[in-house]
Amino acid sequence: MAGWTAGHGRLLGFCLLVNGDPAVMANPIEVQKVLKGIDYPADRRTLVETARQEGASREVVTALEHITDRSYDGPNAVSQEVSHTS
């Protein structure tokens, strides 16, 4: 299960839930930063490998590992998928 978390009226990031508990929170800005410069279209494996090479946090790598295994045509498609992973 997944969803966005908010605090004091602002969006904090994407949160994967494991057994109902928040397990991983990926900041959408960090996701985009580590994928800056990637050549699209790109598949999930390429996104995860690039994130690791760029020193992404565990939260970002885990969020990318949980997106649908398909080709993404740009950063907006990745962000949308990360935000809708459940």
How many other CB atoms are there within 10 angstroms of residue 2's CB atom? 19
Q: Is the pLDDT of residue 18 over 90?
A: no
Please tell me the pTM assigned to this model. 0.71
Q: How far apart are CA 81 and CA 41, in angstroms?
A: 14
Q: How far apart are CA 46 and CA 38, in angstroms?
A: 9
Q: How many Å separate Cα 82 from the centre of its chain?
A: 4
Q: Could you tell me what percentage of the chain is helix, strand and coil, using 3-state DSSP and rounding each to the nearest 5? A: 40, 30, 30
pLDDT in tens, 28-49: 889 999 999 999 999 999 999 9
